[in-house]
Chains A and B, each alone.
Chain A
Amino acid sequence: MVPVDYYIILSAFLFVIGVIGVIISRNLIIMFISIEIMLNAANLAIMAFSRHLKLMDGHVFVFLVMTVAAAEAAVGLAIIIAIFRGRESVDADALNLMKW
């Protein structure tokens, strides 16, 4: 049986990959997908702890996180479409309207 540590550490790795993806990319869609990676990493940690504590509440939390991810994807992609329609670009640097 795999120790629960391994799952938590794997989830940490996945989360950090998502963080790095958000920091180093300028493509709005890649940044968005990186956020999805981070949500999935959190889900993996929740599942591991749920198994560790023998409590199935974590499975319900994973459902709720997936619902939030779906809602976020719908609204975020709509925003990206609106930005692309106005600027013909998905470059995060192009969005400097509110830049100080």
Chain B
Amino acid sequence: MVLFAVAAIIALASAVMVITAKSPVGSVLYLIISILAQSVLYIQLSGLFVAAFLVLVYGGAILVLFLFVIMMLNIRYANLGDDTLSKIKPLGWVFGLVLLAEMVWVSMGVSSRMAEVGENFGNVPEVAHLLYGKFVYPFELTSILLLTAIVGAVVMARKGS
């Protein structure tokens, strides 16, 4: 319970810092902290393999890609002009909080206790059996998705297109 509370507070606080940080680099670094805290939660939910995958692929690869692009673009803070959103911003908070209240209300009373699971739940062999057995077609189709993304990224980022 203490572990859950600490990890949840870190995840929430760094997520808030992501959207309020002054520089994009700071945002990405705070998001990495949030991801690490969430991987603690995954381990508590006995998803060991997924937690490792989250840290390696999300924290290690995707967010480094973000950092790489931000540093390549050399974005200065002054790039944004006058604040044209000042009228909409309070509305954004109001809508967000209403949505939050709604979601919390809906998810209250899903279940008050956590189910007991076996020792093997979330281990690598179990996940692998699902990936290469029951879900083999979706798993193979993701390769097409990634190929499409590679081609799209190269075409979009090419000079003089």
The answer to whether A and B assemble together is yes
The reply to whether A14 and B12 form a contact with Cβ atoms under 8 Å apart is: yes
The reply to whether B100 and A24 form a contact with Cβ atoms under 8 Å apart is: no
The reply to whether A54 and B115 form a contact with Cβ atoms under 8 Å apart is: yes
The reply to whether A27 and B4 form a contact with Cβ atoms under 8 Å apart is: no
| With known contacts A23-B88, A23-B96, A24-B89, A78–B152 Cβ distance under 8 A | yes
Instruction: List, in ascending order, chain B residues with CB within 8 A of A10's CB.
Output: 8, 11-12, 41
List chain A positions with a Cβ less than 8 A from chain B: 1-10, 12-21, 23-27, 29-30, 32-34, 36-37, 40, 43-44, 47-48, 50-54, 56-57, 59-60, 62-64, 66-75, 77-82, 84-85, 88-91, 93
| With known contacts A24-B92, A59-B130, A64-B138, A54–B157 Cβ distance under 8 A | no
Count, chain B residues at interface, CB 8 A: 88
List chain B positions with a Cβ less than 8 A from chain A: 1, 4, 8, 11-12, 15-16, 18-19, 24, 27-28, 31, 34-35, 38, 41-42, 44-47, 49-50, 53-54, 57-58, 61-62, 65-66, 69-70, 72-73, 75, 79-81, 84-85, 88-89, 91-93, 95-97, 99-100, 103-104, 107-115, 117, 121-122, 126-127, 130-131, 134-135, 138-139, 142, 145-146, 148-150, 152-157, 159, 161
| With known contacts A30-B24, A90-B75, A59–B49 Cβ distance under 8 A | yes
The reply to whether B12 and A12 form a contact with Cβ atoms under 8 Å apart is: no
Show 21 A/B contacts (Cβ-Cβ < 8 Å), sorted by A.
A9-B104, A10-B12, A12-B104, A24-B19, A24-B92, A25-B19, A29-B75, A40-B34, A57-B134, A59-B49, A59-B122, A69-B62, A70-B149, A72-B149, A73-B66, A74-B152, A78-B154, A79-B156, A82-B156, A82-B161, A90-B79
The reply to whether B149 and A60 form a contact with Cβ atoms under 8 Å apart is: no
In the complex, which of the residues B47, B96, B111, B153 contacts A50, with contact meaning CB atoms closer than 8 Å?
B47
The reply to whether B113 and A1 form a contact with Cβ atoms under 8 Å apart is: yes
Instruction: List, in ascending order, chain A residues with CB within 8 A of B46's CB.
Output: 51
